[in-house]
Amino acid sequence: MENEKLLEVKNLQKHFKVGRNKVVKAVDGVTFDIYKGETFGLVGESGSGKSTTGRTIIRLYDASGGEVKFNNEDVHGKKSKDELLKFNRNMQMIFQDPSSSLNPRMTVMDIIAEGLDVHKLVKDEKERKERVEELLEVVGLNREHASRFPHEFSGGQRQRIGIARALAVDPEFIIADEPISALDVSIQAQVVNLLKKLQKERGLTYLFIAHDLSMVKYISDRIGVMYLGNMVELADSDELYKNPLHPYTKSLLTAIPLPDPEYERARKRVSYDASLLDTSEEPEFREVSPRHWVRCTTKEFEQYKKQVKNK
26 has pLDDT over 90: yes
The residue type of 190 is Q
Contact 192, 215 (CB under 8 A): yes
The confidence score (pLDDT) of residue 225 equals 96
* CA nearest to 295, candidates 46, 122, 129, 48: 48
266 has pLDDT over 70: no
> Nearest 5°: phi and psi at 84?
-65, -40
Distance CA 60, CA 68 (A): 13
Q: Per-residue confidence at 281, pLDDT binned at 50, 70, 90?
A: confident
142 has pLDDT over 60: yes
Q: What percent of the chain has pLDDT over 90?
A: 71
5-309 in CATH: which number? 3.40.50.300
* CA nearest to 288, candidates 238, 247, 234, 215: 234
The residue type of 40 is F
77 has pLDDT over 60: yes
Contact 178, 96 (CB under 8 A): yes
170 has pLDDT over 80: yes
For the whole model, what pTM was predicted?
0.91
Instruction: Summarize pLDDT for 177-232 with one digit per residue, the tens.
Output: 999 887 888 888 899 999 999 999 999 999 999 987 888 888 999 999 999 999 99
Q: Per-residue confidence at 96, pLDDT binned at 50, 70, 90?
A: confident
Tell me the average pLDDT across 255-283: 67
Contact 53, 177 (CB under 8 A): no
54 has pLDDT over 80: yes
What average pLDDT does the chain have?
90
The confidence score (pLDDT) of residue 1 equals 45
263 has pLDDT over 60: no
**Length of the chain measured in residues:** 311
The residue extents of the domains of the chain are 5-309
Counting beta carbons within 10 angstroms of the beta carbon of residue 290, is it exposed (0 to 12), middle (13 to 18) or buried (19 or more)? exposed
244 has pLDDT over 50: yes
Tell me the average pLDDT across 111-133: 94
The secondary structure element, H or E, covering residue 147 is: none
Q: Per-residue confidence at 2, pLDDT binned at 50, 70, 90?
A: low
Tell me the average pLDDT across 83-96: 91
297 has pLDDT over 80: yes
Distance CA 165, CA 206 (A): 16
